Amino acid sequence: MLEEIAVQYVNTGEDDLRLIGYGIVIAGGVLAGLVHKSQDELARATYFAYSAILFFGRSAAEIIWLGSIPAMTGGYLWIFMLVDVFVALAVGYGLGVIAMARSRDAYGHGKLAFLAFIPFANLWLLFTQSRLSLSPKREPTIPLLTGDAGVATGFVFLFAGIVLTAFLRLQLERMVQVAQSDPTMQEAGVDFMIRAHGLDATLREMALGFPTPSPIDDVTTLTQVEGDGTTLRYTYEVMAVIDTLPMSVRTGLTRQNCTYAAMRPVIEAGATLEHVYLRPDGSEIGVVKVNQDICRLNNE
């Protein structure tokens, strides 16, 4: 069950996934408000340094997704999902703790800690001056996190987090490109799509990936690919004058579809691959259908 949830989780759109992560961070902040009872205060520089460190930690945790493809094939993607959720929750908790301390330092109470979770409004919490230049409640920190050194430390971690995020995004894109040329990864990817979206939606999405019209040979052009329920239909236009499809074409298509790694998951899930050959006037020359039963017979 967790694996299926993980499949749905990583297949969520980028914007929705960002909102989910934001919601988890807020949940962590709410948890901090409920259970953290410290009355410590934080000055601006220290608060900025801690915030940047939390941001860097959240970015660094994304490294785990570089192993997402092996995790999909190995059935342990759910571990990655739980790590991602718990890290976001921990970051939210940490941000809630330091935001309450900053609010107490600036306003004498922790009620404005929620500003830390609102874009741009968080700057108000950051830049508001401390009520007291020295406070007995101010949390003791190392020199590297206070004053000008704290500001410099914050910028270092902030910049490092931004660079790391950009690097990981680039690596993930490269990883996907490599996977698309690897038959084993192609098979895993299609299987992943089926589990995430179902067979019908997967076939429709696969159909969109075929450029049409696309020449197959000197006389044959692939003119259309469409997902129709559990059928993935390829339509070809043949310029040569023939009455029926040669047996060699039928046999070759069947063998190719049955052995092609990327098609194996959809066939095993119950899909039918249908190749329709038409003359220029639209009349039918022949149809080749490939499904699980035909592949089973072909392998015997």
DSSP state letters, the chain: -HHHHHHHHHTS-HHHHHHHHHHHHHHHHHHHHHH-----B--HHHHHHHHHHHHHHHHHHGGGGGGHHHHHHHT-HHHHHHHHHHHHHHHHHHHHHHHHHHHHHHHSSSGGGGGGGSTTHHHHHHHSPPS-SS-TTBPP--GGGSHHHHHHHHHHHHHHHHHHHHHHHHHHHHHHHHHHT-HHHHHHHHHHHHHHH-HHHHHHHHHHTS-SSEE-SSSEEEEEEEEETTEEEEEEEE-S--SS--HHHHHHHHHHHHH-GGGHHHHHTT-EEEEEEE-TTS-EEEEEEE-HHHHHHHH-
Are the beta carbons of 31 and 99 closer than 8 angstroms? no
- Determine the average pLDDT of the residues in 87-95: 95
Q: Tokens for 245, please give them.
A: 């499809």
Confidence band for 88, pLDDT divided at 50, 70 and 90:
very high
In a domain, 61, yes or no: yes
242 in the same domain as 132:
no
In a domain, 87, yes or no: yes
Q: What percent of the chain has pLDDT over 70?
A: 92
Give the closest residue to 195 by CA, choosing from 4, 2, 62: 4
At 150-191, the pLDDT tens digits run 899 999 999 999 999 999 888 887 776 666 566 666 677 787
Amino acid at 114: F
Distance separating alpha carbons of residues 232 and 203, to the nearest angstrom: 6
Confidence band for 198, pLDDT divided at 50, 70 and 90:
confident
Give the closest residue to 88 by CA, choosing from 138, 20, 145: 20
In a domain, 251, yes or no: yes
Query: How many domains in the chain?
Result: 2
Q: Tokens for 22, please give them.
A: 């934001």
216 in the same domain as 128:
no
pLDDT at residue 223 greater than cutoff 90: yes
In a domain, 187, yes or no: no
At 232-266, the pLDDT tens digits run 999 999 998 888 888 988 898 899 898 887 788 89
In a domain, 186, yes or no: no
139 in the same domain as 82:
yes
Q: Please tell me the predicted confidence (pLDDT) of residue 183.
A: 65
21, with CB counted inside 10 A (0-12, 13-18, 19+), is middle
- Determine the average pLDDT of the residues in 65-85: 81
106 in the same domain as 226:
no
Domain span holding position 259:
198-299
Q: What percent of the chain has pLDDT over 90?
A: 42
Are the beta carbons of 50 and 153 closer than 8 angstroms? no
In a domain, 253, yes or no: yes
